[in-house]
């Protein structure tokens, strides 16, 4: 398969949410030359870690396969050996070496693609034009079933040259098809999202839902439907059909099950339709895989972002709290000042009424109080106030001694300060 | 012609050319292989006839027997006397199988027989294939610097223009890869495997490293192979490193064609190295409206190189 790009730098710039990408490109991490040189040590560690993970994954798979398959294999082996013995005992005129020879010949014939079971006449060639076309297709897409393979030297050399030119060609084609597919789906999803916007659901939810819809619809069209068709035409079980679909569309292509490879009578257009399905299905799978990759990349980017955002928010919050605190202190001190002034004036009144001379009062440190309701002057005073926070400013009738009003968007000041 | 129209035209042209290419390949394969097949079929019939003539076996029971032998053989179980007792599913062979699964080579010399095995294969492949791609490209990313960028810089410093420098470097890299990953392993394989010629080894290397994996040649499948587990592990390592080098080659080729303007001519997305500028932009927290606009813009301009995610290589093969 054209290897999907799971980590694409472009997606980072376009969105804060995962973008649906339908490209068929291999995965890359951004080549940041300068930072690469600086952080080379860490990156090698990451690669080694991932590599070890892959090895672990392989070993795990090997263990599971062994435990699942070995009993079956032993059973098969026993069965065929007993078959052989039974045959030999039933037909006493055949000695073992003759049988061995026959079996060896038969097996090598099968390897060459000729099935000796059955009669000669009703065999269709494995290399008639339509089958050869199918074989060429499997080579180019790198699926490589292997149920037919070239056996002549000339055939093999030609195969090499053919693949050398054809695989990049198919790669381009897949890229183009993937793009068109992606555009179609992208438009459809944009329309769906437009519908949902009226319902006032969050953007992320819409995006997630639309992605799921895309995946499900694609699965239905490219996986479930063909599997059902194969089950019906080829006579496989449901699991075998699904297995064939997945193994083919990931371009693994074992060849134990091949659509159009059995001895059934096929309709004329069956093989070309299968080939077309492979083409589009490959594009779909590549799109899915690159979408997963996009998500991975955006998740890693978003995590970084969010961590950064959290830090920024925390700093903001701390600044807010300290501003509030300072303000409360000032407000309290102003209130005390106010009360003191009032007490002093009452005292004066009383004393004047009673004929006492004004007593020396405790004077609070002088503060200039300026009342202004003009934002511009506010700003200027605010800026001026930044230098020395002792200058009180008033706004909207209130007294704020340090000029920072959290309710009025002093975040910007805090940002400016930062 | 506007950009969208041009892209559709290019795509149709590409598809038509692709079909022609397939037809051409079909014709050639057919002409080369068909006579050989006919001959083999005639030989088989003669063999069967000969066997039946000289024995008391009836045609029906022979057919029956053959069908069973062939079914067993399809699953890798040989009915021959001198076939090795070693299983196809011991740990090393299972690992080899798992490796062919995740690298998508898929020889098919052994395939899961049980239903559970098939289900597990599906799940394992669906997770393992992207995972392997990730690892391979991450590795390629790391070795890109010492193997590509540094030599190109070196070449440029020694007086070449940028464009010829990249071409020269690419050719050198190509020669190196062919020597180390095709010719040398072919020689090794033809020496180790009894029945393989040099051409067979070369054919095997090529078919495996392009992940086609037809399966007509699989190393280590002979009876009484010495050090079979070690051999299989070595082949696995060779496959992995070889795949990495193929990716590297393709990536270098793509960057080179970027430089020479091929990708914009063919309306293909560019190598994402050229998008480093955009990556350095601060990621602005857009509100929903602008995000929608961006999506629609991206959706309506499918092949505009600036708006598409870039490809660093088109195909892993």
CATH code, domain with B149 = 1.10.287.70
For residue B135, is it within any domain? yes
- At A96 the pLDDT is 77
Instruction: Please give the model's pTM, rounded to 2 decimal places.
Output: 0.65
Residues of B in contact with A177 (CB under 8 A): 11
State the angle between helix axes of B115-144 and A270-354 in degrees (0 to 180), rounded to the nearest 10. Answer: 70
Using a CB–CB cutoff of 8 Å, tell me whether B116 touches chain A.
yes
Q: What distance in Å separates the CA atoms of residue A334 and residue A53, rounded to the nearest whole number? A: 65
Closest residue to A125, CB basis, from B34, B105, B216: B34
Give the three-state DSSP class for A398. strand
For residue B204, is it within any domain? yes
For residue B179, is it within any domain? yes
Using a CB–CB cutoff of 8 Å, tell me whether B131 touches chain A.
yes
Asked whether B63 and B57 are in contact (CB, 8 A), the reply is no
How is residue A371 annotated by DSSP?
A: B
What is the residue extent of each domain of chain A? 77-114, 127-334
Asked whether B150 and A31 are in contact (CB, 8 A), the reply is no
Domain of residue B131 covers 87-266
Run of H or E residues at A394: strand A393-395
- At B126 the pLDDT is 80
Which ranges constitute the DSSP H helices of A250-374? 270-354
Contact A100 B120 (CB under 8 A): no
Give residues 27 to 66 of B whose Cβ lies within 8 Å of A: 27-30, 32-34, 36-38, 40-41, 43-45, 47-48, 51, 54-57, 61, 63, 65-66
- At B181 the pLDDT is 92
Number of domains chain B is built from? 1
For residue B277, is it within any domain? no
For residue B12, is it within any domain? no
For residue B241, is it within any domain? yes
Contact A66 B102 (CB under 8 A): no
Per-residue pLDDT of chain B (317 residues; tens, 9 = 90+): 566 677 677 767 777 776 777 677 677 767 766 777 777 777 777 777 777 777 677 777 778 878 777 777 766 666 666 655 566 777 778 888 888 888 889 888 877 777 777 888 888 888 778 777 777 777 787 778 788 777 778 877 887 777 777 788 888 888 999 999 999 999 999 888 888 889 999 999 999 998 998 888 888 877 666 778 888 888 988 998 899 898 888 888 877 777 777 666 655 555 544 333 333 333 233 333 433 443 333 333 333 333 333 333 333 33
Closest chain A residue by Cα to residue B244: A26
- Number of Cβ atoms within 10 Å of the Cβ of A230: 23
CATH class of A127-334: mainly alpha
Q: Please count the residue pairs, one from chain A and one from chain B, whose beta carbons lie less than 8 angstroms apart.
A: 507
């Amino acid at each position: 398969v054209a290897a999907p790009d799971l980590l694409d730098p472009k997606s980072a710039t376009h969105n804060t949410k995962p973008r649906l990408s339908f490209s068929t490109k291999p995965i890359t991490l951004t080549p940041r030359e300068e930072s690469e040189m600086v952080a080379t040590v860490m990156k090698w560690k990451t690669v080694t870690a991932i590599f070890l993970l892959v090895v672990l994954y392989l070993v795990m798979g090997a263990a599971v396969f062994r435990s699942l398959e070995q009993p079956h294999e032993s059973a098969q082996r026993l069965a065929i050996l007993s078959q052989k013995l039974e045959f030999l005992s039933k037909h006493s005129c055949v000695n073992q070496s003759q049988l061995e020879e026959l079996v060896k010949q038969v097996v090598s014939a099968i390897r060459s693609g000729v099935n000796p079971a059955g009669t000669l006449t009703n065999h269709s060639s494995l290399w008639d034009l339509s089958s050869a076309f199918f074989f060429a297709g499997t080579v180019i897409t790198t699926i490589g079933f292997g149920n037919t393979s070239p056996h002549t030297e000339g055939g093999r050399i030609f195969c090499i040259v053919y693949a050398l030119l054809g695989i990049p060609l198919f790669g381009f084609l897949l890229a183009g098809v993937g793009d068109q597919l992606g555009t179609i789906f992208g438009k459809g999803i944009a329309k769906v999202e437009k519908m949902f916007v009226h319902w006032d659901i969050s953007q992320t939810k819409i995006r997630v839902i639309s992605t799921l819809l895309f995946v499900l619809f694609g699965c239905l069209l490219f996986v479930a439907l063909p599997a059902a068709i194969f089950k019906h035409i080829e006579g496989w079980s449901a699991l075998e059909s699904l297995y064939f679909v997945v193994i083919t569309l990931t371009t693994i292509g074992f060849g134990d099950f091949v659509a159009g490879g059995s001895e059934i009578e096929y309709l004329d257009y069956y093989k070309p339709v299968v080939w077309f399905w492979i083409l589009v299905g490959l594009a779909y799978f590549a799109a899915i895989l690159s979408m997963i990759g996009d998500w991975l990349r955006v998740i890693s980017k978003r995590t970084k972002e969010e961590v950064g955002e959290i830090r920024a928010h925390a700093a903001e919050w701390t600044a807010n709290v300290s501003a509030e605190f300072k303000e409360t202190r000032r407000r309290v001190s102003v209130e005390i000042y106010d009360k003191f002034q009032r007490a002093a004036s009452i005292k004066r009144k009383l004393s004047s009424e009673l004929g006492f001379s004004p007593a020396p009062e405790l004077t609070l440190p002088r503060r200039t109080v300026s009342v202004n309701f003009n934002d511009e002057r506010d700003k200027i005073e605010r800026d001026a106030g930044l230098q020395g926070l002792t200058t009180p400013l008033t706004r909207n009738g209130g007294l704020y001694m340090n000029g920072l009003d959290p309710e009025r968007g002093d975040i910007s000041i805090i940002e400016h300060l930062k | 012609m506007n950009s969208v129209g041009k892209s559709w035209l290019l795509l149709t042209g590409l598809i038509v050319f692709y079909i022609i290419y397939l037809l051409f390949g079909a014709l050639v394969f057919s002409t080369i292989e068909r006579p050989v097949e006919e001959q083999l079929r005639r030989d088989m019939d003669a063999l069967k006839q000969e066997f039946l003539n000289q024995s008391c076996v009836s045609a029906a029971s022979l057919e029956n027997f053959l069908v069973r032998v062939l079914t067993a053989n399809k699953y890798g179980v040989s009915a021959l006397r001198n076939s090795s007792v070693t299983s196809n599913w011991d740990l090393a062979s299972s690992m080899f199988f798992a490796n062919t699964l995740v690298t998508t080579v898929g020889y098919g010399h052994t395939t899961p027989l049980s239903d559970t095995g098939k289900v597990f294969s599906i799940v394992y492949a669906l997770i393992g294939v992207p995972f392997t791609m990730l690892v391979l490209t991450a590795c390629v990313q790391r070795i890109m610097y010492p193997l590509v960028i540094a030599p190109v810089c070196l070449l440029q410093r020694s007086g070449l223009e940028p464009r010829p420098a990249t071409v020269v470097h690419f050719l050198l890299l190509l020669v190196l890869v062919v020597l180390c990953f095709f010719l040398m392993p072919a020689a090794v394989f033809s020496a180790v495997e009894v029945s393989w010629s040099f051409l067979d080894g070369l054919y095997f290397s090529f078919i495996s490293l392009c992940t086609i994996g037809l399966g007509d040649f699989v190393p280590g499948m002979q009876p009484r192979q010495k050090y079979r587990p070690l051999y299989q592990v070595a082949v696995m390592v060779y496959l992995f490193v070889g795949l990495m080098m193929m990716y590297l080659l393709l990536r270098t080729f793509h960057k080179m064609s970027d430089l020479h303007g091929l990708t914009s001519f063919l309306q293909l997305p560019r190598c994402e190295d050229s998008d480093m500028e955009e990556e350095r932009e601060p990621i602005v927290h857009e509100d929903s409206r602008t995000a929608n606009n961006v999506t629609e813009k991206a959706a309506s301009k499918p092949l505009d190189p600036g708006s598409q995610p870039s490809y660093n290589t088109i195909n892993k093969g």
